[in-house]
Structure 1
Amino acid sequence: MMFGVKVAHSLPGRTRFYITKQLETSHIETWLRSFPGVYSASYNQVTGSLLIYHHITLSLYSLKLFIHKYKHTLKQAACSWKKAIPIIASGTIFLVNWYLQRSSYPSIVKALSYWVSTFTAISTSYDVIKDGVVHVLKERKGNANTLTAASIFASLYMKNPGSALIITLMSTISELLTDYTSEQTKHYIHSVLKLDVSYAWRVKEKGVEEKVLVEDIQVGDKVVVFTGEKIPVDGIIIEGNGTADEASITGEYMPREVSGGDNVYAGSVLQSGHVTVTVEKVGEDTSLSKIVKLLEEAQDKRAPIQNIADTVAEKMVPVSFGLALLTFFFTRNLNRAMSMLVIDFICGIKLSTATALYASIGRAAKEGAIVKGSDHIEKMSKLNTVILDKTGTITEGTPVVQQVI
């Protein structure tokens, strides 16, 4: 993930860099705007040009260094793909071992396949095994990973590395599915409330209007918004009047009459009139961006049922070990006792609960309804009466004639 960065040209408060690697526009721009002293950042994928407006005292070296640090965020994003490695490795080795053991290959080939499968099962489950063992040593009790680790070693003890590989495969797929569902939920929320405005009309000296990128708008600038356009910033109207649809911000479907001295918010739509706005907040500081951020963070709020699931799963660990001991006590058959450990149903209790809640929030967001956390999903399941104070909460707010009699 290495890429070169060089200064194309620089003026006091304005610097253009050229980057050799093509980057995600929104990611690099958001990253740069988080640096103190940077007012705006605009990246062009085609030319690899990164234009930055910043405080005149900001050194180019610190800016360049900060851009280089961006590659670490790329590595972190790439790390998510590393979770797929155990799936690929376990699945491939399992199929190869299954084929070789059932074919007429020499014994040495089968033995080699057996040991490769054993090594793969342990190496791909290293993090799970480590967490399970450390949890026992520190907390004096097992967790779901402890049982998974025991299941893997039980399979290996019974000389069945295939079962160990399948356990690793299913466990990793479950975790990836949960992570994917969570990320999709955040994506849907962002898509529902995104600003979706690239340009704005900034008023220059002598009242001349110029079309500029929204990223180039700074606090204190004056922008003009015309009928039908989205308001790109948070600010105060200094001239003009009209009606603004603020449903994306307040949930109120009825347009609001706005005029001089009124506050307006990014994401609102000016349905009629035209206004001149003094910019107070831009980019990540706008109310819309903060709402999106709060909603994304809210998805990590745990519902009570998730805590119950975790508690049940934790208490089921000793039960599983107890069943294994009882099986051995009554049957005196070690293989049967070990089989009780291989039947690992604890992870399913934890992962399925979280995945179902994330999926519910994601589906709601896809349909245009925003849910502020998993705990609200659980509360909604217990509702039998819903009282609404305004129809715009659940409807389009645009009544139509369905039938004339």
Structure 2
Amino acid sequence: MMKLQQFLTKYTNHITAITGGLIVLGFATKFLLHSLTGYQVILAIASIIAVIPIAVRAWSALINRVFSIELLVSIAVIGAFVIGEFDESAIVTFLFLFGSYLESKTLQKTRTAIKGLTEMAPTTATLVTADGTTTVDIDDVDVDDVVLVKTGNQVPVDGVVVDGSGYLNEASITGESRQISKQLDDQVFSGTMVENGYLKVRATQVGDDTTFAKIIDLVEEAQDTKSKAEKFIDRFAQYYTPAVLVLALLVFIFSRDFRLAITVLVLGCPGALVIGAPVSNVAGIGNGAKRGILIKGGEVIDRFAKIDTLMFDKTGTLTQGKTTVTSFKAYTDNAQLLPLAAAIEQTSDHPLGQAIVTYAAQHATTTATPTLTDTETVKGQGIWATVANQKVILGNQKLLTAQQITLTATQQADLKQMQQAGQSTVILAIDQQVQAIFGIADAIRPAVKTALAALKAQGIKHLVMLTGDNELTADAVATELGIDEVHANLLPAEKVTYVKKQQAAGHIVAFVGDGINDSPSIAQADIGIAMGSGTDVAIDTSDVVLMQSSFPALVHAHGLAQKTVLNTRENIFIAIATVVFLLIGLIFGYIYMASGMFVHEASILVVIFNAMRLIKFQTKYDRKIPTPVKSVTA
């Protein structure tokens, strides 16, 4: 049976073509040669040839205790043979096979984004060895190996540039095709293309652990994750097909009209209803994948479309996370202040800390590096360390208050001035005495203000910012962006509390964060959205990953979710309307077996083509954004 199934699957299209040819030949025999016997024999042969793959599929499903559409068609064909309607059986089987062929062809188009991603996956790498270079299979590259990537080649691993420079096309990761300059120590991702230059890259993630591999896996898994509509339809279909069989039997018992009973079987095929929801979700997820938006399944799309409250982290989310020290106040002439602050912050990867490290490298008057004997990070507050038997604290006001450190009137005035200017502040204290204050500015992401307005226009009712930063800085950013509600000086756990409060009030909440410090809030929210360019935590924790880390992508993702849900409803309506039309036609006598099958197959194609409109979907906001122009390199 298995070999027969494989054979029939391989040659189903040929069988469809032969059946169509025989039907044409049969009608030619009837109308040109006036041979009714030849007409019936040819169409009977066509019916037998066409019903074989259908009946084999029906039997395979029955073995697994599934009542399939193929079972209804097979029984209908047997009934047509019983009453001698060979033309009906031939046309029904041909339309069913031809409809399946068109379904498979059109469904393939909805998966082009995923197929394109898969085809972009690198298969080989040029490994740098002591003797030069050698080409190896991608599976043979290990972490810490160095690979060479020349112009026109793909980066085969996630890693760090250790030599060379070039321009990379990162469309496979972010969805943006513009070229990005990569220099020494810059991070690169597997699957991206070197447009100009050359790079030597030390591998940090290889094989299935690379960002690109995870993207492919996630999108493929997402297309198999069912929405609520799909789950309902699956349960409905389990009972629907047996119900149609029972209905056909009852029709025959009460009407004694065998032809009518067989027609009920044909009209009862729930094809458009079964396929309507899945094809919409596949098309919607594919649209997002092309734009660097990973939506993890149909259920996520359902919830995302219903969001009414959007909550944000500030640093690295609303802002770029590329912070710089714009104000520095020192209250002692100690030349070691900047090297000391830099030495402590080098133990952290927080954007504010990295800004201090960069500032110290540019402005320190001494290169001496203090020795740290002990350090401890206080989440959401800062770091303390022991240096030469002195306790050094570097953090926000909350950390200083916890350590019972007070500021002088002058220091408080300087601190307030920095905060009113919208700067984040980091205070340096040594042995309970404040020695310096850093004012750090973080640029707001491009197009955030207009994107937030677009989200409100799409139905988001409430915008809330949750941040560990001080109130003055948070208020300055919120006022500029038009955010409705602000809560500052929060620890990660306190952000989760605010998410829970919104949920308890009956709101459906999405939380947007960088996917690292905000992972508890991302996990708690109804929809967790990571604005992280491919970090492991961003991909693993969230429901939606925006690889571009951009708010225009967020607007598109939300609009796409709404449109996909609407498209699913449209498809379900089309399917139900088709069934109603066929039943009314059956009652009034203008629908027969062959014409009913034609309408049935046509309805399947209509829902597929309707779903395919999602592949090119754009929001009103998308259409206002100018298309980025690729960089031109020498």
| TM exceeding 0.5 | yes
1:97 to 23, 26, 29: 26
Relative distance call for 1:244 and 1:188 in structure 2 (3 A) is closer
CA distance in 2, matches of 1:221, 1:80: 45
Provide the residue aligned with 1:170 in structure 2: 95
Bigger shift: 333-342 or 187-196?
187-196
Q: What one-letter code is carried by the residue in structure 1 that aligns with 2:159?
A: G
Relative distance call for 1:360 and 1:86 in structure 2 (3 A) is farther
Q: Assess if the C-alpha contact under 8 Å between 1:189 and 1:370 holds in 2.
A: no
Provide the residue aligned with 2:240 in structure 1: 316
1:157 aligns with 2:85: no
Provide the residue aligned with 1:123 in structure 2: 52
CA distance in 2, matches of 1:116, 1:354: 35
CA distance in 2, matches of 1:212, 1:380: 45
Kindly state the Cα deviation for residue 223 of structure 1 after the two structures are TM-superposed: 3.5
Provide the residue aligned with 1:298 in structure 2: 222
1:353 to 266, 277, 282: 277
Query: SS state of the match for residue 203, structure 2?
Result: strand
Provide the residue aligned with 1:279 in structure 2: 203
CA distance in 2, matches of 1:174, 1:276: 52
Q: What one-letter code is carried by the residue in structure 2 that aligns with 1:89?
A: I
Provide the residue aligned with 2:252 in structure 1: 328
CA distance in 1, matches of 2:128, 2:61: 62
Query: SS state of the match for residue 56, structure 2?
Result: helix
Q: Assess if the C-alpha contact under 8 Å between 2:157 and 2:190 holds in 1.
A: yes
CA distance in 2, matches of 1:214, 1:193: 17
Identity of aligned residues (%): 23
- Residue correspondence of structure 1 range 43-192 to structure 2 within 5 A: 81-106=10-35, 108-131=37-60, 134=63, 138=65, 142-192=67-117
Q: Assess if the C-alpha contact under 8 Å between 2:80 and 2:259 holds in 1.
A: no
Relative distance call for 1:109 and 1:293 in structure 2 (3 A) is same
- Residue correspondence of structure 1 range 215-230 to structure 2 within 5 A: 218-219=141-142, 221-223=145-147
Relative distance call for 1:297 and 1:216 in structure 2 (3 A) is closer
Kindly state the Cα deviation for residue 229 of structure 1 after the two structures are TM-superposed: 8.2
Q: Assess if the C-alpha contact under 8 Å between 2:8 and 2:53 holds in 1.
A: no
Relative distance call for 1:375 and 1:88 in structure 2 (3 A) is farther
CA RMSD of aligned residues (A): 4.7
Unaligned runs of 5+ in 2: 308-457, 464-511, 513-530, 532-549, 557-621, 630-634
1:391 aligns with 2:315: no
Deviations 1:254-305 (A, max 9, x none): 9899755x75432457899986432355566533123213322332222222
Provide the residue aligned with 2:158 in structure 1: 234
1:342 aligns with 2:259: no
CA distance in 2, matches of 1:223, 1:195: 18
Q: What one-letter code is carried by the residue in structure 2 that aligns with 1:160?
A: E
Kindly state the Cα deviation for residue 245 of structure 1 after the two structures are TM-superposed: 8.4
Provide the residue aligned with 1:14 in structure 2: none
Q: What one-letter code is carried by the residue in structure 1 that aligns with 2:257?
A: N
Q: Assess if the C-alpha contact under 8 Å between 2:125 and 2:156 holds in 1.
A: yes
Relative distance call for 1:98 and 1:374 in structure 2 (3 A) is farther
Q: What one-letter code is carried by the residue in structure 2 that aligns with 1:290?
A: K
Deviations 1:77-135 (A, max 9, x none): 99864231332233222222233234444455345325423422432423134246546
Deviations 1:197-251 (A, max 9, x none): 7997765548x7x696886984354235689986442234446799988785478
Kindly state the Cα deviation for residue 363 of structure 1 after the two structures are TM-superposed: 4.4
Query: What TM-score, normalized by structure 1, do the two folds share?
Result: 0.59
